[in-house]
Amino acid sequence: MIEDFLLWGTLIIVNITLITKGEILLFNIVLLGTGGGMPMPNRFLSSMIISYKGRKILIDCGEGTQVSMRNLKTGFKQIDIICITHVHGDHIFGLPGLLSTIGNSSRIEPVTIIGPEGIADVVNGLISSISYFPYTINIIENPKNSLSIQILDNGMSIKDYTKKHSNNDIILSTLDLEHSSPCLGYNFYIRRKPKFYPEKAELYQVPKKIWKRLQNGEVIIHNNKTYTPDMVLGEERKGIKLSYITDTRPVDKILNFINESNLFVCEGTYGDNEDLDKAIKNKHMLFSEAAELARDGKVEELLLTHFSPVMDEPQLYKLNAMNIFSNTVIGYDGFKKELNFT
């Protein structure tokens, strides 16, 4: 499944509690904001934070994002990656303040910002008034290849994905979308490591003292003999796929990108089907269009976000999506979701 998935883009996170034999992992998402265009008294601009193994990935950072983070007590210091969908103000104007706050949290490890073409110039302009950061800011602009993310004790390691990377935790990929400025959709594939088989290790006469390292994906030369992870592990198990799509028309290539996602987070700028002309003009989506993508992309669950400021109560339009895709949730600020391996 993973190789089919990677054919369609580059791969992102959610708040998820995973309990398997011998391990307890946390994988969670929190919607920090669900608005588009401008912040409202009860709705911050669309942003989402993902937590996994104690580290965090932030998606978009509009005005007020860090206020929501403080209200929801998500923390700042553990943010290792910030994924920006595009450079419109409602998705980036909170970035300078957040980066400054992260610096004030005693963080010294690098922070990586991923975004579309032009993101480097925009970020450098936004932070030009800040004289000093105690950490390095790395920028990855418009990645064309999938990225392999390994979670470390003090951050995340990012490199180009290759099939030989058996110790990656997350595979991140991107897709070019159709908006009025370059815009990226994000996929996050959270790998589930293969099952360990001690009887297989004994069959291959693998020394016990290197079992753990092989489980972690290392290739080890011991006493002039090479030991590989497949000598102690079973087949790759199905992981978790999270897709995040916002600020776009429902173009066909999105279907392949989101195919069989466990959670599809998608913009729903307009709830009323009568707003189709607005959606086409402004290159956004209706609730019903997002639901059609969810249905045709065979996803498990649709979570709608990025609501127009003129739409006071998105719940009133829920049936416009549910009549097409029943497992639809209308997001709200502070919404939390836990995912589990099946």
179 known ligand binder: yes
272 known ligand binder: no
90 is catalytic: yes
90 known ligand binder: yes
306 known ligand binder: yes
Any residues with CB less than 8 A from the CB of 276 and at least 6 apart, and which?
Answer: 270, 286
222 known ligand binder: no
State the Cα–Cα distance between residues 321 and 227, nearest whole angstrom: 52
91 known ligand binder: yes
247 known ligand binder: yes
CB environment 217-240: b (16+ within 10 A), e (fewer): beeeeeeeeebebebbbeeeeebb
Q: Which of 80, 90, 169, 333 is catalytic?
A: 90
Active site residues: 90
Q: Annotated binding site for Zn(2+), which residues? A: 86, 88, 90-91, 179, 247, 306
Q: Annotated binding site, which residues? A: 86, 88, 90-91, 179, 247, 306
